[in-house]
Amino acid sequence: MDGIMTFTINRPEIRNAINNEVTAGLEELVEKAKHPSVRMVIITATGKQAFCSGGDLSVFHTLRTEQEAYGMLKRVSDVLYSIKTLPVPVVALVNGVAVGGGCEIATACDYRLVWDHVKCGFIQGTLAITSGWGGGTYLLETLQHDQALKMLSEAKVYTANELKDFGWATDIIQEERDIEVFFERMKNIHPDVHRAYKEMAIRKWKKTDLQERVEQEVRRCAILWEKDPHHEAVDRFLNKPKS
């Protein structure tokens, strides 16, 4: 569709986990999306299995100390903040499971279109860390307080219907036509109107120090990252028996 820029995470064999190359791709997207011809941005991924399984643990597990973790968390959180504050609507087209940082990416977007077979969750707690890319802060901005805290603290995945009930999923997608309908409705409205509403949201986020709150999330996660329970949990995941 005209004026719609799409970014597709393309690592289906590893459930579209984020490594430094994908991060660089998101950084490039941010620069390109600032062009005045862009009306909307979509973030999605290849396949039906996964939207994103979070950080690529096989790569990021080499980061052992608080300082090393901070460098990675900060870089990804910076690009997600830039995505959140793009001047146009950003839509996460959640084609498959989203866990950990995958949920953070989707939560940084303005809208989440979630396929009906999908499960999503902030499962970072099972790895003895918190969200560390700003997604926890964005969730607390997005959902009712107790609902957000529950979703973060339970560290489990939820069905598409549950995510709709919470107010996290904007719409549930049952067929391709549902996606077309969403974008047709958006395109019926002049792009300047979308930009004006986005400015309103960004004004609020700037007034409430959103960026500083994200920074605190990043720092807190980096502290937990260094500790043994996190490294042990990731070891267990990476060394789980193959089925």
Residues that bind ligand LP2KCY5N (CB under 6 A): 14-15, 17, 49-50, 53-58, 60, 97, 99-101, 104, 123-124, 127, 131-133, 237, 242
Q: How many helices (H) and strands (E) does the chain have?
A: 11, 9
Collapse the DSSP code of 8 into the 3-class scheme (helix H, G, I; strand E, B; otherwise coil) and give the result: strand
Taking the complex as a whole, how short is the minimal distance between the CB of residue 147 and ligand LP2KCY5N, in angstroms? Answer: 19
- Between 48 and 150, name the residue whose CB sits nearer to ligand LP2KCY5N: 48
Q: How far is the CB of 1 from ligand LP2KCY5N (least distance, A)?
A: 29
- 34, 46, 186, 200 from 195: Cα distances, Å: 12, 28, 12, 9
**SS3 helix, strand, coil % of the chain, rounded to 5?**
55, 15, 30
Which is closer to ligand LP2KCY5N, CB of 173 or CB of 222?
A: 222
- In 35-175, which residue ranges form alpha helices assigned H by DSSP? 57-60, 66-84, 101-108, 135-142, 145-154, 160-166
Confirm if 108 and 83 have CB atoms less than 8 A apart: yes
Q: Report, in Å, the least distance between residue 215 CB and ligand LP2KCY5N.
A: 14
Give CA–CA dist 20/14, Å, rounded.
Answer: 14
Q: At which residue do the structure tokens 């490039």 appear?
A: 28
Closest distance to ligand LP2KCY5N from the beta carbon of 90 (Å) = 19
Q: Are strands 158-159 and 111-115 parallel, antiparallel or unpaired?
A: unpaired
Nearest of 141, 156, 162, 152 to residue 210 by alpha carbon: 141
- Whichever of 63 and 169 has its CB closer to ligand LP2KCY5N, that residue is 63
Nearer to ligand LP2KCY5N, 123 or 169 (CB): 123
DSSP β-bridge partners for residue 18: 55
CB of 100 vs ligand LP2KCY5N, minimal distance in Å: 3
- Nearer CB in complex with ligand LP2KCY5N: 41/129: 129
Q: Which is nearer to ligand LP2KCY5N, 14 or 202 (CB)?
A: 14
- d(C-alpha 138, C-alpha 107), whole Å: 6
Is the Cβ of residue 124 or residue 137 nearer to ligand LP2KCY5N in the bound state? Answer: 124
Q: How far is the CB of 243 from ligand LP2KCY5N (least distance, A)?
A: 7
CB of 233 to ligand LP2KCY5N, least distance (A): 8
